[in-house]
């Protein structure tokens, strides 16, 4: 049991597990913000365009109505297919995906700029290297050939 606890402690203390936990917490908070944006801004606008301000309720299909008692308390909630709720969730997902895309794209652009800034500036191209100097044997062979040519001309 003690070994299991020490392995679990080592696992929890890893940096990537803590980073992942922080990411989940931030994603949850971000999800709440986007839910509020979708439900409070976009859905009323779409609902207004479709004939009502409560878009989610307008597109829900009630199969069996809820039953209530004389006091107005719900006894049986009934059966409702939530097309409006589904559409709200899809719009919410698309907004989150768009924002995540923009964030990743901006981070990639910043990383690319940082990488370019770290690279040394492009140096001017060096002059082409001069051909290597002939070796001593090549020079002697050339002198011999010139001497032979001169001897044949005379």
Residue 59 to residue 91: CA distance in whole angstroms: 14
Whether the Cβ atoms of residue 93 and residue 101 lie closer than 8 Å to each other: no
Dihedral sign (CA 21, 22, 25, 26): negative
Domains of the chain: 2-113 (1.10.1200.120)
- Beta-bridged to residue 68, according to DSSP, are 74
> Mean pLDDT across the chain, nearest whole number?
80
Query: pTM of the predicted model, to two decimals?
Result: 0.49
In the structure encoding, which two tokens stand for residue 45, read together? Answer: 């606008």
Q: Quote the pLDDT of residue 109.
A: 93
Q: Quote the pLDDT of residue 119.
A: 77
Q: Residue range 126-141: average pLDDT?
A: 80
Residue 80 to residue 30: CA distance in whole angstroms: 29
């Amino acid at each position: 049991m003690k070994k299991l606890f020490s392995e679990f402690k080592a696992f929890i203390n890893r940096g990537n597990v803590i980073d992942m936990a922080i990411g989940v917490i931030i994603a949850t908070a971000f999800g709440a913000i986007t839910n509020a944006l979708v439900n409070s801004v976009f859905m009323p606008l779409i609902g207004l365009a479709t004939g009502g301000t409560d878009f989610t309720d307008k597109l829900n299909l009630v199969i069996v109505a809820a039953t209530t008692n004389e006091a107005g308390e719900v006894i049986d909630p009934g059966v409702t297919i939530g097309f409006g709720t589904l559409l709200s969730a899809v719009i919410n997902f698309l907004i989150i995906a768009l924002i995540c895309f923009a964030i990743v794209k901006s981070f990639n652009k910043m990383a690319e700029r940082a990488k370019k800034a770290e690279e040394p500036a492009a140096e001017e191209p060096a002059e082409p290297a001069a051909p290597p100097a002939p070796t001593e044997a090549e020079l002697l062979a050339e002198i011999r050939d010139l001497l032979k040519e001169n001897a044949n001309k005379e």
